[in-house]
A and B are shown apart, each in its own frame.
Chain A
């Protein structure tokens, strides 16, 4: 069984300040971990993914996340927030079948990121 806990339902930061969205996971297997973003009335977009390569993962739009196995965490960060970053962010866990392909994704409940001008 696998699960994801996003520790904050809402995060509010000022434009130009750092962003930290926290995520803890639980998985019986070596997990694959992702962050997806969902803007209002738009589809889900993959920000970044961790699939057992480098533990520090860089994604699109300046976001990055660090996989910490000892802490079972995969927090998302960005050095400087932009107004366009306002959206819903989902931490996601999955695992791969031995022959390739991927499990159904398990999503956290989401963190609503608010950017103050």
Chain B
């Protein structure tokens, strides 16, 4: 089992550009959540996808959008990049509703985004 995988591992962009980050969930998982971890801070919840729809969203602007594919993999898109978007972006996968009382989230290694 490969666990949660993310690509790319590192990315450098300039202000105003757009970026797409990718995540493949752990085998058997159908729910994907995205988090932003700024340097020296705890991760902050961006949104969660289940059944190809955004199920829940944190306090992030509309510049942050996502997508989930039929194979449960997911993308995070960020438009009009700002310097403050520089962070480690973490993807986590879990089982969806109806598959257990509590569904642990397993984290990938993250994508380090630097905005210049």
Bound Cα distance A45, B104 (Å): 11
Number of A-B pairs, beta carbon distance below 8 Å: 73
Interface flag for B25 (CB, 8 Å)? no
Interface flag for A46 (CB, 8 Å)? yes
Classify the secondary structure of B's interface with A. loop
Bound Cα distance A43, B44 (Å): 15
Q: Mark B24-60, 1 if CB is under 8 A from A, else 0.
A: 0000000101010000111111011010000010100
Q: Which of A32, A43, A108, A110 contacts B109 (CB 8 A)?
A: A43
Bound Cα distance A41, B7 (Å): 15
Interface size class on chain A is 20 to 34
Q: Is the pair B99, A107 in contact by a Cβ cutoff of 8 Å?
A: no
Q: Known: A99-B97, A101-B50. Is A46-B42 also a contact (CB below 8 A)?
A: no
Q: Mark A71-107, 1 if CB is under 8 A from B, else 0.
A: 0000000000000000000100000110111111111
Residues from chain A with a CB closer than 8 A to the CB of B94 are: 101-102
Least CB separation from A101: chain B residue: B97
Bound Cα distance A108, B56 (Å): 19
13 intermolecular pairs with C-beta atoms under 8 Å apart? A90-B42, A96-B101, A96-B102, A99-B97, A99-B98, A100-B102, A102-B105, A104-B45, A104-B56, A104-B58, A105-B33, A105-B35, A105-B45
Q: Known: A42-B109, A43-B110, A110-B41. Is A100-B97 also a contact (CB below 8 A)?
A: yes
Residues from chain B with a CB closer than 8 A to the CB of A90 are: 42-43
* Shortest Cβ distance from residue A60 to the other chain B in the assembled complex, whole angstroms: 13
Residues from chain B with a CB closer than 8 A to the CB of A107 are: 35, 42-44
Q: Known: A101-B94, A108-B42, A109-B41. Is A44-B104 also a contact (CB below 8 A)?
A: no
Residues from chain B with a CB closer than 8 A to the CB of A106 are: 45
Interface flag for B81 (CB, 8 Å)? no
* Shortest Cβ distance from residue A89 to the other chain B in the assembled complex, whole angstroms: 10
Residues from chain B with a CB closer than 8 A to the CB of A108 are: 42
Bound Cα distance A107, B90 (Å): 13
* Shortest Cβ distance from residue B29 to the other chain A in the assembled complex, whole angstroms: 11
